[in-house]
Amino acid sequence: MALTKLEVQSIEEVLKNCLRNKFQNYKPEPASMPFHTRLLGTDRLALFSFIHSLNTNFGTTIFEPVAKTLAAKNFKAVHSQAQAGDQISEAAHKVIQGIMDNLTTAGAAPNKAQEIEAIRKVCQKGKMKKIKPTLVDVWVESKSGELFLFDIKTAKPNAGGFKEFKRTLLEWVAVVLSENPKTKINTIIAIPYNPYEPKSYSRWTMRGMLDLDNELKVAEEFWDFLGGKGTYIELLGCFERVGIELRPEIDKYFSRFK
């Protein structure tokens, strides 16, 4: 068993609190959809609107706190919505732009180990510039001091966004190394579940921009990395049990829209 009884309880409390808070604070947007309402019913339309609203902040309200709970026993330090740093050297900025240019024109294949070392060599060279990189969704530090910085994305990210995702991952490397060039660092895109299951995740849209072996973790790869082998399956069980327990509350909430 990957999860302890205490971890299961903590995760299930996160899920319950998230849904109950959503019920208390959710206010459907005032929108008249006469065709949809007549075809599907007011309650189903309210459910659709609720799910859409929940999806927009699923990462911060559910995935991030769950990830912190899972990682707590296996890592020395765990943070969410963390600042990676706030300065980058001019030389590192140029190296990152060169990497992006080569990847965009297919002049080179992504190789994260080589990219990190190229940034490391110049991480404190030249004038230091103040920047405000994207916050790290989940930051974990291993017991040996190795860093893993995760950017959690939706299950089907827009293919056109991977260029910016890549730049974010490289900037995190640069700002962390600017403070300590010897840091062992990994920056990774995490996708919480595979929408194509039981087929394998379609990664071809990322090929050419991300180093798929070192910059991407999907479903089991992500959750089992944080919590240990078998965590993903047990996590699905937590979600299912909470859904069953709260079904009467969910039905009662949406019955008001009938």
The pLDDT profile of the chain, 258 residues, written as one tens digit per residue, is 678 999 999 999 999 998 898 888 877 665 677 888 888 888 788 888 888 888 878 888 899 999 999 999 999 999 999 999 999 999 999 999 999 999 999 888 999 999 999 999 999 999 999 999 999 999 999 999 999 999 999 877 776 788 899 999 999 999 999 999 999 999 999 999 998 888 888 777 777 899 999 999 999 999 999 999 999 999 999 999 999 999 999 888 888 776
Are the beta carbons of 169 and 209 closer than 8 angstroms?
no
Kindly list the distances between the CA atom of residue 169 and the CA atoms of 17, 135, 174, in Å, as whole numbers in the listed order. Answer: 32, 11, 9
Question: Which domains can be identified in the chain, with CATH numbers?
Answer: 1-73+229-258 (no CATH), 75-227 (3.40.1560)
Can you tell me the distance from the alpha carbon of 185 to that of 54, in angstroms, rounded to the nearest whole number? 32
Can you tell me the distance from the alpha carbon of 258 to that of 247, in angstroms, rounded to the nearest whole number? 17
pTM: 0.90
CA 119 to chain centre: 24
pLDDT tens by residue, 65-79: 999 999 999 999 999
Q: What is the pLDDT of residue 147?
A: 98
pLDDT tens by residue, 204-223: 777 789 999 999 999 999 99
Burial of 53 (0-12, 13-18, 19+ CB in 10 A): middle
